[in-house]
Amino acid sequence: MTDVSAGTLAEMLDERQHLLEIALWMFGSESTADRIVQETYRRWYALDDEERAGIVVPRAWLTRVAGGICLELLAAPGPLPVPGSAGAPAPRPRPAMLPAHQQARPDQGMLVRHDRVARRFAAACDLGDAAALRAVLAADAIVVSDGGGKLRAPVRPTYGADAVARFVTSLLAGRPGTEVAVESVNGRTGLVLRQAGRAVAVVGVSVAEAEITAVWIVLNPDKLQHWHRP
């Protein structure tokens, strides 16, 4: 099943910022606000498929939940408690990592072929050209995105060249001010998307012959800090 209800990358980032602003307004602490947003998304992912499908306007639901968590914390006696599963200390930020098989050291010919295909993919992404994306994808291509529970990213992989092309085009649409840069991702050519120097997505691809077989999109803010630029 394809889960594309999360909308575009621009919409997801705007949604997260909206929730952060609610929590900041209530508490004035960025660390507390981040924990509140994380707990809000944890509750979203705790729903089953049928419950999520029944939510007509997810942003409104998330806003109500974030506000409710704020009220719960304000009403709690004693020191400010840490909401939900966010109590564990945050791991030290690491570079965005993609599946282990992409980290092997291929020969130079494979790297050159990978670079050529990845750059075709990057050009199609930059133009938002679904047909060009479809042309570089294998028929059974897959796309997987990782929001780390901190963005309302799709919870399932998307399969098939047509569906993957639509997914990627939709995800990257509506992104004014976003720079698409071709950079090394785990030792191979990939893409980094930035807004005002801050990375908002890192994209890696798996290549077989002249086609892309898998697209890996890291959206988790904790994994993107390494990719920020002045």
Ordered by start, the domain boundaries in the chain are 9-87, 100-227
pLDDT of residue 37: 94
Average pLDDT, stretch 135-163?
89
Burial grade of 74 (CB within 10 A; 0-12, 13-18, 19 or more): exposed
Give residue 1's pLDDT band: very low, low, confident or very high (50, 70, 90): very low
The more confident residue out of 98 and 191 is 191
Burial grade of 188 (CB within 10 A; 0-12, 13-18, 19 or more): buried
The more confident residue out of 14 and 129 is 129
The more confident residue out of 177 and 135 is 135
Domain 100-227 architecture: Roll (3.10)
User: Longest C-alpha distance within the chain, in Å?
Assistant: 64
**Distance between CA atoms of residues 131 and 135, nearest Å:** 6
Helix (H) or strand (E) segment spanning residue 184: strand 178-185
pLDDT of residue 80: 46
> Does 92 score more than 80 pLDDT?
no
Per the rule left: phi > 0, alpha: psi between -120 and 50, beta: everything else, 196 is left
Q: Choose the weakest-confidence range: 98-112, 127-141, 148-162, 173-187.
A: 98-112
pLDDT tens, residue by residue, 15-62: 998 899 898 888 888 889 999 999 999 999 999 999 999 998 898 899
pLDDT of residue 79: 52
pLDDT of residue 106: 55
pLDDT of residue 100: 46
pTM of the prediction?
Answer: 0.71
**Distance between CA atoms of residues 117 and 204, nearest Å:** 12
**Distance between CA atoms of residues 136 and 225, nearest Å:** 30
Distances (CA, A) of 221 to 13, 96, 149, 209, 225: 10, 9, 10, 32, 7
> Does 161 score more than 80 pLDDT?
yes
pLDDT of residue 25: 84
Helix (H) or strand (E) segment spanning residue 199: strand 198-208
pLDDT tens, residue by residue, 170-203: 887 666 788 889 999 988 899 999 989 999 999 9
Cβ neighbours of residue 176 closer than 8 Å, sequence gap 6 or more: 10
- In whole angstroms, what separates CA 189 from the centre of its chain? 19
Token duo for residue 45:
């992912």
Cβ neighbours of residue 120 closer than 8 Å, sequence gap 6 or more: 132, 136
